[in-house]
């Protein structure tokens, strides 16, 4: 069965140490994804900060409380980049004797912070809206207020698209959650425009009513972001990824069966462990070679998978019957 390994891993020393080019590639990839995450954070922080400063200037001109609330909100959003940035920096640290997997899970904690900020923003917008319904206030320079709302919406939407795209590409649930957060803030800014239009048409209650509508929209986004972050905290992975890994392992020459497979996220990288069944007549070296081939193929086939522990087990009669039934299905 040893001739089934298709990647030339037949060197005798391969039993004792992993191939250096594989691990070097994985380290480079891990650093590159963290760099991309940091770059996304720095650029989006700068964009949101500029947006908030531009709005602040217009607040001073108009005296609009709604616009002031939106401006403070945008400053707060820019600052959500801070916990994420800290998490990305921690995730780059090498594993230690205490933290044997490294500190990638710090990203999940940053995701929780982002979810809490989104929840707080929903409370603030809802509270301000109810307050304004009970105690209406005049707003001056309506066209300036509307322009500031458009500026806020454009800035937030650009940041949202950028964060969500990069977050999905590098597998960071926290960055995606932060992108969704920026998107809700864009709609909060747009509410300022609708409120100003309503006031201009002689309907002063338009501003707080739109604010309440935005609160509901934020709650929907909060639900999606919280689901993504808490699933990650509980080690959830996409079942399709698990299926891909199992199928890839079963297709390796010399493998009679594969499973159970366990997979979890550490930061924005996946780690997996699985057992593969091989023929009982193989030597330790032949079985190891098959295990090494399984690892190699999984790392190439499964996106964002950076480490796999493969355990080989001798096949029993029951295993062979079970596997042949599985192939028939």
For residue 284, name the pLDDT band (cuts at 50, 70, 90). Answer: very high
Give per-residue pLDDT as tens, 197-228.
888 888 877 777 877 877 887 788 788 889 98
Per the CB < 8 A criterion, the answer to whether 249 and 285 are in contact is no
Cα 207 from chain centroid (whole Å)? 34
Alpha carbons within 13 angstroms on the beta-carbon side of residue 62 total 28
Pair 107, 60: CB distance under 8 Å? no
CB 2 within 8 A of CB 289: yes
Q: What is the pLDDT at residue 132? A: 78
pTM of the model: 0.73
* Residue 10 vs residue 225, higher pLDDT: 225
**Band (317; pLDDT cuts 50, 70, 90):** low
Cα separation, 295 vs 289, whole angstroms: 10
Q: What is the mean pLDDT of the segment spanning 30-40? A: 79
Of the candidates 118, 117, 110, 105, the one whose C-alpha atom is nearest the C-alpha of residue 234 is: 105
pLDDT > 90? residue 310: yes
Percent of the chain topping pLDDT 90: 27
Domains and CATH numbers, the chain: 21-233 (1.20.1510.10), 237-328 (3.30.70.1350)
Q: What is the pLDDT of residues 241-275, one digit of tens each?
A: 999 999 999 999 999 999 789 999 988 889 999 99
- What pLDDT is stored for residue 30 in this prediction? 61
Mean pLDDT of the chain: 81
**CB 235: neighbour CB atoms within 10 A?**
12
- Give CA–CA dist 6/292, Å, rounded: 11
| Dist. CA 247–CA 239, nearest whole Å | 12
Grade residue 7 by pLDDT with cuts at 50, 70 and 90: very low
pLDDT for 4? 38
Dihedral sign, Cα of residue 186, residue 47, residue 142, residue 119: positive
Pairwise CA distance, residues 270 & 101, whole Å: 11
Instruction: Return the structure tokens found at 29.
Output: 């990839």
- Provide the token pair at 83: 């916990």
Interatomic CA distance for residues 218 and 81, integer angstroms: 19
pLDDT score for 10: 36
pLDDT at 29: 61
Top mean pLDDT of 13-22, 193-202, 232-241 is at: 232-241
Edge-to-edge strand ranges of the sheet holding 269-278: 257-266, 269-278, 305-314
Q: What is the mean pLDDT of residues 276-295?
A: 94
């Amino acid at each position: 069965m040893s001739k089934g390994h298709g990647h030339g891993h037949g060197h005798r020393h391969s039993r004792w140490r992993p191939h250096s080019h594989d691990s070097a590639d994985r380290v480079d990839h891990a650093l590159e994804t963290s760099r991309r995450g940091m770059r996304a954070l720095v650029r989006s922080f700068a964009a949101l900060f500029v947006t908030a400063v531009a709005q602040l200037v217009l607040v001073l001109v108009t005296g609009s409380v709604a616009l002031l609330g939106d401006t403070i909100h945008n400053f707060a959003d820019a600052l959500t980049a801070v916990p994420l940035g800290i998490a990305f920096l921690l995730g780059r640290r090498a594993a230690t004797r205490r933290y044997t997997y490294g500190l990638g899970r710090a990203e999940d904690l940053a995701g929780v912070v982002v979810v809490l900020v989104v929840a707080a923003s929903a409370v603030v917008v809802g509270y301000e809206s109810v307050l304004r319904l009970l105690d209406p206030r005049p707003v001056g320079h309506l066209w300036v207020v509307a322009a500031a709302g458009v500026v806020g919406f454009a800035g937030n939407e650009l940041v949202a698209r950028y964060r969500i795209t990069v977050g999905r590409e590098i597998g960071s649930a926290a960055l995606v959650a932060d992108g969704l957060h920026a998107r809700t803030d864009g709609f909060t800014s747009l509410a300022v425009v609708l409120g100003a239009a309503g006031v201009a048409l002689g309907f002063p209650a338009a501003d707080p009513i739109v604010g309440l509508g935005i609160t509901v929209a934020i709650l929907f986004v909060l639900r999606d972001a919280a689901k993504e972050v808490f699933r990650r905290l509980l080690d959830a992975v996409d079942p399709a990824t698990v299926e891909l890994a199992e199928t890839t392992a079963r297709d390796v020459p010399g493998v009679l069966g594969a499973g159970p497979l366990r997979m979890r996220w550490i930061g924005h990288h996946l780690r997996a462990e699985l057992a593969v069944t091989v023929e009982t007549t193989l030597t330790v070296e032949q079985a190891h070679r098959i295990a090494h081939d399984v690892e190699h193929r999984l790392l190439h086939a499964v996106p964002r998978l950076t480490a796999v522990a493969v355990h080989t087990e001798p096949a029993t009669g029951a295993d062979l019957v079970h596997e042949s039934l599985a192939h028939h299905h």
